[in-house]
Amino acid sequence: MANNSNPLFLQVFLRGGADGLTFVPPTMDTEYTGRRNRTVLTPPGSGGTYQPPVGPPVSTDALPLVTNPDFGLSPALGDVKTLFLENKAIFVQACGGDDDGRSHFMQQDFVERGETSANQSTTATGNGWLGRHLASTPVTGTPMRALSLTTNPILSLRGAPSTTTTDPDGLAFPSPPASLGSTRGATLQTLYGLIPVAGASQQIIDAFANDETSIGELANVNFQRTPAAGTPTYPAGPFGAALKQVADIVDYQSGASVPNPLEIATIDYGGWDTHDSQGVFNVPNDNRMYGLMKDLNDGLFAFVRDMESQSIVREVVIFVLTEFGRTTDENTNLGTDHGRGGLAILLGSAGKIQSQHHQKVLAPNWSGLPNQGLDLDVATEFRDIQYDILDKVLCNPNPGAILHSGVAGSGYTHTPLNLLV
């Protein structure tokens, strides 16, 4: 059961297959610089530059990660580096599943279900890994346990009631015609009360009860809240707005001592499918991925600092993930194509990252790009990260059952990572 002592879990899905080798480049690997041209970052402090067609030269140097000399960090992620140095972030390089497909839709499906192609005819449920968690840990009443700030319901939450909206401030039952003689909400309550409480019908009733609770609770949230003085400004745009809305909800629930506060929030961030003109440097009109990473950096940093500045008695853990990585080689269109191993980032409140992973890039058995083909081999199974989240953040009593660990035909047996406290 969720309570104010359990962390809030925020999932940020980078849709499109983000290039992990641009986020956390292996700058000391000569094979990396040999395989890429306009999408390569030079070693920290090396004085690398790029001369764009218009304007002055720009630096191509990565930011240093002193405790991880094999890797650097994109200059767009300077604030995330600050969190890294505060022991509040882990970069997981070469993360993925056991399926080598290249379809966005199929690989997103696998990650969100916490299952892969091996599950298709055996243990697959069709529900999401977070939905299975919620269904396996029922609570009293109908609190707003999960909120998806997305246009459409996401698969991760399928299998349990959740609220999906891009406008939590405006979520409400529309005013009914005067001829109804009652509020539309009251009318719907009456209609749903007539449904037999059995089977699928009960799921409909639960979904309505969840939405009714969410609408009532969100109506009390001050979405015009001004963060505390000194808190970084949230970036303009949908991503920054969604993060601010999550913080507004947590602020209200903490102040009102809501007994079963929000457990899970999810945000989608699209645009990472960079087949052409990837744009990894801060160059006007040619900074596509740099701009995406900078917006991600600014939003995450503002959210973490906002949460830290409030009188909130809950911690937070953020899981930034993508469906797959991209090829180790740059293509002829100055971009990269669908690959395998990608990047995941875990960010958390002070004390949530295990001490042995402080200021570390998790890249098990990293042997450099000379030993890789066109794809970056998967070194860390994404379900092992999901297992840690289920265990340490969501306090699920049986994470292995949620992810079918060790079940015949599941294709997955848990390997402990111990990333989180």
pLDDT in tens, 90-124: 999 999 998 888 999 999 999 999 988 766 555 66
Question: What Cα–Cα distance (Å) separates residue 218 from each residue in 127, 197, 226, 268?
Answer: 26, 27, 17, 20
- Report d(CA 79, CA 24) in Å as an integer: 14
Q: What is the per-residue pLDDT for 236?
A: 97
Convert 14-52 to b/e letters by CB count within 10 Å (16 or more is b).
Answer: bbbbbbbbbbbbbbebeebbebbebbbbbbbeeebebee
Q: Give the pLDDT confidence score for residue 408 in this predicted structure.
A: 82
Q: Domain extents for the chain?
A: 8-166+260-402
Residue 62 confidence (pLDDT) above 50: yes
The whole-number pLDDT of residue 124 equals: 65
35 three-state secondary structure: helix
- Band (pLDDT 50/70/90 cuts) for residue 2 is very low
pLDDT, tens only, 341-379: 999 999 999 999 999 999 999 998 888 887 888 999 999
In this predicted structure, the answer to whether residue 267 has a pLDDT above a threshold of 60 is yes
**Which pLDDT belongs to residue 407?**
87
pLDDT score for 180: 46
Q: Is the pLDDT of residue 391 over 90?
A: yes
Entry pTM? 0.92
Interatomic CA distance for residues 133 and 9, integer angstroms: 12
Q: What would the mean pLDDT of 36-49 be, rounded to a whole number? A: 96
Alpha-carbon distance 264 to 245, whole Å? 13
Q: What CATH topology corresponds to 8-166+260-402?
A: Alkaline Phosphatase, subunit A (3.40.720)
CB atoms within 10 A of CB 247: 27
Question: What percent of the residues of the chain are helix, what percent strand, and what percent coil, each to the nearest 5?
Answer: 35, 15, 50
Chain-wide mean pLDDT for the chain? 89
**By the 8 A CB rule, do 146 and 163 touch?**
yes
**Rounded Cα–Cα distance for residues 145 and 157 (Å):** 11
Grade residue 208 by pLDDT with cuts at 50, 70 and 90: low
Pairing label, strands 89-96, 361-362: parallel
Comparison of pLDDT for 184 and 289, the residue scoring more: 289
In sign, the C-alpha dihedral spanning 340, 345, 351, 356 is positive
Of residues 187 and 332, more confidence is placed in 332
Identify the band that residue 143 occupies on the pLDDT scale cut at 50, 70 and 90. confident
* Pick from 107, 32, 40, 106: nearest CA to 74: 40
Least confident span in 20-24, 212-216, 250-254? 212-216
Give the lowest-confidence range in 10-19, 75-84, 164-173, 346-355. Answer: 164-173
